[in-house]
Amino acid sequence: MDSILVRGGGPLKGQIPIAGAKNACLTLMPATLLSEEPLTLTNAPRLSDIKTMTALLGSLGAEVTSLQDGKVLAMSSHNINNHTADYDIVRKMRASILVLGPMLARDGHAIVSLPGGCAIGARPVDLHLKALEALGAELDLKDGYVHAKAPKGLRGGTINFDFASVGATENALMAATLAKGTTVINNAAREPEIVDLAECLRKMGAQIEGEGTSTITIQGVDRLGGATHPVVTDRIELGTYMLAPAICGGQVELLGGRINLVQAFCEKLDAAGISVSESANGLTVKRNGGDIKAVDVTTEPFPGFPTDLQAQMMALLCTANGTSVLEEKIFENRFMHAPELIRMGANIDVQGGVATVKGVKRLKGAPVMATDLRASVSLILAGLAADGETKVSRVYHLDRGYEHVVAKLSAVGADIERVKDT
């Protein structure tokens, strides 16, 4: 098993290229199941989760070929010969549930294991199932598997979400493209990944309106064709690397970054005293010296502050001047990084879904353990600002969501290396 060693140092300077979005790519890949014609994704991230989805699609009979060092995924689902997504693959990643809607829409039946993934709360799939039932699916839960069928095909319907779930919106959106008639999704998620999926599906021939708003309307079509589509920039990787110069000082340009992907996050950085500006190739983040100012953060669905940047933001606020309050409203149990930051000298008190962070002058290096994907990178960021050496263990979480993190941070002056545990 690997660990990452981080030694706190001086300011960072240079450029960091931002990859395509993991969460967008994991949604776009199952869209290949909707058509017999090829779907090609460019700007794909090179991550373990992408390999897991590749294996899952392959187990169903889809062909996925990785080109250009993994940045291009050429897919074809002309020969789907299996409609069961087994537990052995699905347990590794929650996004696996996204094969359910497309298989059901195209072939009228599917059996999908209940998924796994990071242990940051229940994250139930009931919204996915209710959405498909609204489209006429017949569902049965047996032995940890969802048995779904629509013998006469799905039909358009009205889907009313109690919560603006990203995954459930994606599953419903894909399923509705081949349903007979019109589907309206109310209280739909508005994330950029939803917009990206809709744009790809439209290239395949889908009729979709309203993506990016809380109401999406889909007019079902008889079939979808092939397409080539670039994966949208990863706004979570973007926000993560924006925090590196914010924590360490210096100036870094994030290639491919766009403010509209991280508007609420940028507003909090500005309040903390960090400069963010648009450049010809992306975004430039600069810390001009002086103390970080304390800010309060509440996670919300897009366009609010992303839950996937909460842990990283906490790392910044550990050394802010004053007291910050972070309220987690998306997932329960998502402060597991707090005890590890406390090991590094942070002053954090967690009460339920609220963390109170009293800024300290300096963090100190320590051995810490990653508990989930975003927690792992928050500890690396904290290590960049700490005195001495920080050893982050269990970094296999990191590989699910960040490609070449050591190389990217080293390129802008960070003292960081990946080592094999003995």
pLDDT digits (tens, 9 = 90+) for 210-229: 999 999 999 999 999 999 99
CB of 272 within 8 A of CB of 305? no
Tell me, which fold does domain 22-230 have in CATH?
UDP-n-acetylglucosamine1-carboxyvinyl-transferase; Chain (3.65.10)
pLDDT value at 323 more than 80: yes
| Token pair of 292 as six digits | 């970080």
Q: Annotated binding residue at 124?
A: yes
pLDDT in tens, 90-120: 888 888 999 999 999 999 999 999 875 444 3
How confident is the prediction for the chain on average, in pLDDT? 94
CB of 213 within 8 A of CB of 194? no
Task: Look up residue 133 and give its amino acid.
Answer: E
For the segment 266-282, the average pLDDT, to the nearest whole number, is 97
- Beta-sheet strands, E only, within 21-123: 39-42, 63-67, 72-76, 84-85, 109-113
% of the chain surpassing 90 pLDDT = 86
Q: Annotated binding residue at 22?
A: yes
pLDDT value at 185 more than 90: yes
In which band, very low, low, confident or very high, does the pLDDT at 401 lie, cut at 50, 70 and 90? confident
DSSP secondary structure letters along 13-24:
EEEEEPPBPHHH
For the segment 239-259, the average pLDDT, to the nearest whole number, is 97
CB of 389 within 8 A of CB of 363? no
- Which pLDDT belongs to residue 119? 41
Size (the chain), residues: 422
| Token pair of 379 as six digits | 């500890």
- Which pLDDT belongs to residue 116? 53
- Say how far apart CA 318 and CA 324 lie, in whole Å: 9
pLDDT value at 176 more than 50: yes
Catalytic residue selected from 25, 118, 200, 318: 118
pLDDT value at 274 more than 70: yes
In which band, very low, low, confident or very high, does the pLDDT at 123 lie, cut at 50, 70 and 90? very low
386's enclosing H/E stretch is strand 386-387
Longest dimension (CA), the chain: 65
Helices 235-248 and 263-272: angle between axes, nearest 10 degrees: 10
As its CATH architecture, domain 2-19+233-420 has Alpha-beta prism (3.65)
Q: Is 118 a catalytic residue?
A: yes
pLDDT in tens, 137-173: 999 998 889 999 999 999 999 999 998 999 999 999 9
Q: Annotated binding residue at 334?
A: no
| Fold match between domain 2-19+233-420 and domain 22-230 | yes
- Say how far apart CA 244 and CA 254 lie, in whole Å: 11
In which band, very low, low, confident or very high, does the pLDDT at 124 lie, cut at 50, 70 and 90? low
CB of 261 within 8 A of CB of 25? no
- Which pLDDT belongs to residue 1? 83
- Beta-sheet strands, E only, within 121-267: 138-142, 145-149, 158-160, 182-186, 207-209, 215-219, 227-230, 250-255
Place of tokens 């459930």: 168
For the segment 333-344, the average pLDDT, to the nearest whole number, is 93
Name the β-bridge partners of 415. Answer: 7
Judge residue 361's burial from the number of C-beta atoms within 10 Å of its C-beta, 0-12 exposed, 13-18 middle, 19 or more buried.
exposed
Q: Annotated binding residue at 293?
A: no
Q: Annotated binding residue at 185?
A: no
Q: Annotated binding residue at 126?
A: yes
Residues whose CB falls within 8 Å of the CB of residue 185, separated by 6 or more in sequence, listed in order: 131, 159, 161, 169, 172, 173, 176, 215, 216, 217, 218
pLDDT in tens, 355-375: 999 999 999 999 999 888 888
| Token pair of 279 as six digits | 């450049």
- Give the dihedral sign, CA 319/320/324/329: negative
For the chain, what are the domain ranges? 2-19+233-420, 22-230
Cα 295 off chain centre by: 24
284's enclosing H/E stretch is strand 282-287
Q: Annotated binding residue at 94?
A: yes
